Amino acid sequence: MEVFNIKKFSLHDGPGIRTTFFLRGCPLNCIWCHNPESFRKLVGSKSCDTSESKNYGIDKIVEIAKQDLPFYEESGGGITFSGGEPLLQHKELIEALKRLKDEDIHTAIDTSGYADPDLFRNVVTNADLVLFDLKLYASKKHKEYTGVSNHKIIENFYQLSDNSVATYVRIPLIPKITDTEENLFALKELLLQNRSIRRLDLLPYNELADSKYKRLDINHEIAGLKTQNEIQLNQIKSIFEDVPFEITLRG
């Protein structure tokens, strides 16, 4: 597996204390991406394939995962595969998920949901939890700001409910793009149709991404954008106050 970062003692990538493997590559090109070091492709005239990454065999992934077993067992934690988009490395990912399950280690996948539906189903049914990122409901705007349509994403989101895969939904709150009332109310209606959701995480915009783009010499289209203030964030949270699952506001 091609990994560009490993974060131990992670507290925001699923339940409990976790080790998160960040996998290289992503089929989306979100203008607000806070992990530009995961890119493989060109953005404009700049090469984004500049960060360090390492290839790990499945045995090594399992070995690293088992180093913190006592912390997982005490906290109800485990392993999360994030990115980038982990589904791009689906063959290795499925093997890793199966091996970790044999070790009785809880697994989670943090995904945009952009994948062939059959591939998506084959991967997520081997995980204990899916962290599913929902960004924009309108397909035209989704393509404008991420580079791809959301048709596959919506189809795969429904699959989670059909297959009863435990799901945490994550909505990045990008000012004037994803945090509009029109978009959030539309996403809320979508959430209410999914029976597998256990939690909704509302994620305020991370201004610290600017420094990563500067370091990698990549143009950041929304450089200088400021996150919402406390009043605005509470107003956003109130939109979802009547949903039948837990809500978190990280910011």
Residue-wise pLDDT tens digits, 48-82: 444 568 999 999 999 999 999 999 999 999 999 99
104, 72 contact by CB (below 8 A) = no
120, 113 contact by CB (below 8 A) = yes
Per-residue model confidence as pLDDT tens digits over 145-174: 999 999 999 999 999 988 889 999 999 999
CA–CA gap between residue 5 and residue 37 (Å, rounded): 9
Fill in the DSSP letter of residue 30: -
User: Residue 134's domain is classified under what CATH number?
Assistant: 3.20.20.70
Q: Average pLDDT of the chain?
A: 91
Domain that includes residue 10, residue range = 2-249
User: Above 80 in pLDDT, residue 203?
Assistant: yes
pTM: 0.90
Identify the pLDDT of residue 39. 64
Number of domains in the chain: 1
84, 23 contact by CB (below 8 A) = yes
The closest of 136, 131, 129, 139 to 105, measured between CA atoms, is 129
